[in-house]
Amino acid sequence: MPSCKQVTYMVSESLDGRVLCWRERIKLKIHLSMCKACQRMVRQMELLRASASLLGNTEKDETQLKQEKLSQESSDRISAHLRQAQQDAGDDAY
Amino acid sequence: MNNDPGNIAQKTDPERWLQDFGDALFRYALRQLHDAAHAEDMVQETLLAAFQARASFSGHASEKTWLTGILKHKIIDFIRKQVRESTVDDINALSDGATRSDVDDLFDHRGHWIRPPQDWGNPDKALHNHQFIEAFNRCLERLKPAHAQIFSLKELLGQSIEEICKELDITATNCSVILYRARMGLRRCLETQWVGNAPEKRS
C-alpha cells in the first residue's frame, strides 16, 4: 500500500494529467477510503487548482480582488514610449 | 474634434488603450507575475507590440480581448526566460528525486503525516472569500520564483505539462516534481495563512 507521502505525489501527478494505471487507482482509492488526512489533502489540492484558475481568469473577477492600478509614474513612462513608437512609425510612413 | 469614422489613427490610438485598459492589463499581469515592476514592463511591451501589429487587429474581438491575448503571450515569454535563467541549479537539485527539504518534514520516515492537513471548510465558500484569495496570492508570492512561475504556467495560464517541458527544456519528471513542491508549499502556507486566520474560527 502506498504511504501518505506517496499518495500526495500520486494526486499531484494526476492533477498534471498523468493517467494512473488501474493498480494505482485501486491502491489510491483504498488508501483514501481509510485516511481522513489524505482526503483533506485531496480537497485542498483541488481548491488550489480552482483558486489558480480563478486568478487566471481575473478579468472576470476584478471585483473580488484588490483594485491595483498602474502608477502615474509608469503610466507616464509607457505613454512616452508609445509616443516615440508612433513618431518612429510616422517617420517611416512619410 | 475629428469624428471622421475613417480615421484609423484615432481608433487605434495606443495612448487611449493605455488609458482605457492599462489598469486591467496591469492587474492581469500582476496576478501571474506577482511583481509590480515586471507587470508594468509587460503592459508597456504589450501596448508597443499591439501598436506594431495594429494592422492585424480584425475587429472581431474587442480591443480588450485582443490586447489581453497579446499580454498573455508576453507573460509566457517572460516566465520562460526567467525560469531558464534562474532555475538551472534549482532544477538540477530536484532531479536527485523528491526526497528532501520542505516536503519531507511533513512526513515521518514511513511516509505518514506528521502534521495532518487541517479542515479548510467548504471549498466553494473559500473560493468566494476575498481573504482566501488574498492568502492564496500571498502564498504564491512566497514560493520559490521558479516554482511559482511553473505553477502559474500550468494552473493560471492553462499550459500542458508537455508544452511547459518543451518550452523550458526540462523533463516531465522535473516538471511534476516542481509542481508537486509548489502545491505542497501552497497547501502548507495556506494552513497558516488561511486556516490559522479563518474568520469563522474566531467567532
Distance from CA of A30 to the nearest CA of B (A): 16
Grid cell of B112 as nine digits: 505518514
Q: Quick one: pLDDT at residue B12?
A: 54
Q: Quick one: pLDDT at residue B88?
A: 55
Distances A49 to A14, A16, B128, B164 between C-alpha atoms, Å: 12, 11, 14, 17
My answer on whether B120 and B103 are in the same domain is yes
Number of domains chain A contains: 1
Q: Which residues of chain B have pLDDT under 70?
A: 1-12, 83-102, 196-203
CATH of the domain at B13: 1.10.1740.10
Q: Quick one: pLDDT at residue B144?
A: 81
Distance from CA of B48 to the nearest CA of A (A): 6
State the burial class of residue B109 (Cβ atoms within 10 Å of its Cβ: 0-12, 13-18, 19+): exposed
CATH of the domain at B197: 1.10.10.10
pLDDT (average), residues A24-43 = 96
Judged by DSSP in three states, B88 sits in: helix
Domain final residue pick, B36, B68, B86 = B86
Radius of gyration of chain A (CA): 25
Grid cell of B29 as nine digits: 499581469
My answer on whether B37 and B49 are in the same domain is yes
With CA atoms as reference, the chain B residue closest to A41 would be B117
My answer on whether B133 and B77 are in the same domain is no
Of A3, A36, A52, the CB nearest to B110: A3
In a domain, A64, yes or no: no
* ipTM entry: 0.71
Distance from CA of B49 to the nearest CA of A (A): 10
pLDDT (average), residues A5-24 = 93
Say if CB B174 and CB B95 are below 8 A apart: yes
Of A3, A16, A68, the CB nearest to B112: A3
Whole-number Å distance between alpha carbons of A9 and B140: 19
Q: Quick one: pLDDT at residue A54?
A: 85
Phi, psi of B159 (to 5 degrees): -80, 155
Q: Quick one: pLDDT at residue B84?
A: 67
Distances A17 to A3, B153, B158, B178 between C-alpha atoms, Å: 21, 14, 12, 15
Residue of B180, B191, B195 best to disrupt the A interface, most CBs of A under 10 A? B180
With CA atoms as reference, the chain A residue closest to B175 would be A16
Say if CB B175 and CB A13 are below 8 A apart: no
Residues of chain A neighbouring B26 (CB-CB closer than 8 A): 68-70
Q: Quick one: pLDDT at residue B116?
A: 92
Q: Quick one: pLDDT at residue B188?
A: 92
pLDDT exceeding 70 applies to what percent of chain A?
Answer: 85
Domain final residue pick, B86, B111, B142 = B86
pLDDT band at A93, cuts 50/70/90?
A: low
Phi, psi of B129 (to 5 degrees): -100, 120
Phi, psi of B113 (to 5 degrees): -60, 130
Say if CB B158 and CB B75 are below 8 A apart: no
What is the amino acid identity at position B49? A
Show the CA angle centred on residue B196, arms to residues B193 and B199, nearest 5°. Answer: 100
Q: Does A50 touch chain B (CB under 8 A)?
A: yes
With CA atoms as reference, the chain A residue closest to B119 would be A40
Domain range spanning residue A18? 1-56
Say if CB B103 and CB B179 are below 8 A apart: no
In a domain, B114, yes or no: yes
Distance from CA of B83 to the nearest CA of A (A): 19
Number of domains chain B contains: 2
Residue of A1, A44, A66 best to disrupt the B interface, most CBs of B under 10 A? A44
Beta bridge partners of B107: B113
pLDDT (average), residues A41-68 = 76
In a domain, B40, yes or no: yes
What is the amino acid identity at position B1? M
